[in-house]
């Protein structure tokens, strides 16, 4: 008599298929979500890593809507150094009204001093017209501390600051601010399913001149490997701005899902 399959085996077999069935019904309301450390730990043995995610959907007739998003991560690793480049673009409309219009570009250089600590510098530019942000440019740096446990759990803590210059839609003036930057990210392999990970990230950015003016974001991401090159992910994020522009919500809950292709060498 054949033994009954174990619960572990059933979960490993059914979870990817179940997620594929659910995927088409998940609204892509967070096309602009970008975590700058999203792929930092991916394929640590690779000197070069390229990651591309594309999402497209549309409808016409009674339901008229279109959406498109493209996101790419590029990592170059050398002994004691890592260069990270991230770009994303999203455009969506429903019934002729824009529901997403954003662009994002981030470059980061990390120099390790020890196996667990180092410094970093970064540049960033972005636009999100639905949040009334016509342009945001920033330059910053800081110190980072990394740790990895024997079961491949990874934790990254960063502290630093940056200068930002913002221009808003329909406003003639620009604004320059200086903010602290504190973040914590973690990646946890999941034992109950094959080749899956859970990632957690939180960023807090108070203004130096007014610590009560705080921007923050918390993200959780589940990713499961489908093949050696393709994976599928589900991301949920919550962001908060204690001092938003008039007409812009202080809080946003966002979620997205998609298929990711990774190339490494």
* Extended beta strands in the chain, E state: 48-59, 65-78, 81-94, 97-112, 117-128, 133-148, 154-168, 174-189, 196-206, 214-225, 230-241, 251-264
pLDDT confidence of residue 214: 93
Could you give the CA distance from residue 199 to residue 208 in angstroms, rounded to a whole number?
Answer: 29
Q: Can you give the pTM of this predicted structure? A: 0.77
- Cβ atoms of 234 and 260 closer than 8 Å: no
Tens of pLDDT, residue by residue over 148-159, are: 887 778 899 999
- Cβ atoms of 86 and 34 closer than 8 Å: yes
Looking at domain 7-264, which CATH architecture does it have?
Beta Barrel (2.40)
Query: Strand 81-94 to strand 230-241: parallel, antiparallel, or no bridges (unpaired)?
Result: unpaired
Question: Which residues of the chain are modeled with pLDDT < 70?
Answer: 1-35, 57, 60-63, 172, 192-194, 246-247
pLDDT confidence of residue 194: 63
pLDDT confidence of residue 84: 93
pLDDT confidence of residue 234: 85
Q: What does the mean pLDDT of the chain come to? A: 80
Domain limits, the chain: 7-264
pLDDT confidence of residue 178: 97
Tens of pLDDT, residue by residue over 82-102, are: 999 999 888 888 777 777 778
């Amino acid at each position: 008599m054949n033994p009954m399959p174990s619960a572990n085996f059933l979960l490993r077999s059914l979870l990817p298929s179940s997620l594929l069935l659910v995927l088409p019904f998940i609204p892509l309301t967070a096309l602009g979500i970008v975590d700058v450390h999203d792929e930092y730990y991916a394929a640590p043995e690779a000197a070069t890593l390229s990651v591309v995610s594309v999402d497209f959907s549309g409808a016409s007739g009674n339901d008229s809507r279109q959406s498109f998003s493209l996101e790419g991560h590029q990592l170059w690793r050398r002994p004691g150094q890592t260069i990270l480049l991230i770009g994303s673009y999203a455009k969506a409309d429903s019934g002729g009204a824009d529901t997403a219009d954003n662009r994002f570009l981030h470059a980061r250089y990390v120099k390790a001093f020890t196996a667990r600590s180092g410094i970093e510098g970064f540049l960033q530019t972005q636009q999100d017209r639905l949040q009334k942000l016509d342009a945001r440019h920033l330059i910053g740096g800081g110190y980072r501390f990394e740790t990895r446990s024997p079961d491949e759990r990874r934790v990254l803590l960063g502290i630093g600051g940056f200068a930002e210059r913002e221009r808003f839609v329909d406003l003639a003036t620009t604004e320059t601010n200086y903010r602290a930057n504190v973040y914590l990210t973690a990646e946890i392999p999941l034992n109950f399913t094959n080749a899956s990970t859970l990632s957690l990230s939180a960023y807090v950015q108070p203004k130096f001149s007014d610590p009560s003016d705080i921007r923050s974001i918390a993200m959780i991401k589940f990713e499961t490997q489908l093949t050696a090159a393709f994976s599928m992910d589900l991301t949920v994020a919550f962001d908060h701005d204690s001092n938003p522009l008039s007409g812009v919500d202080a809080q946003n809950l966002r979620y997205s899902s998609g298929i990711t292709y990774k190339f490494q060498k």
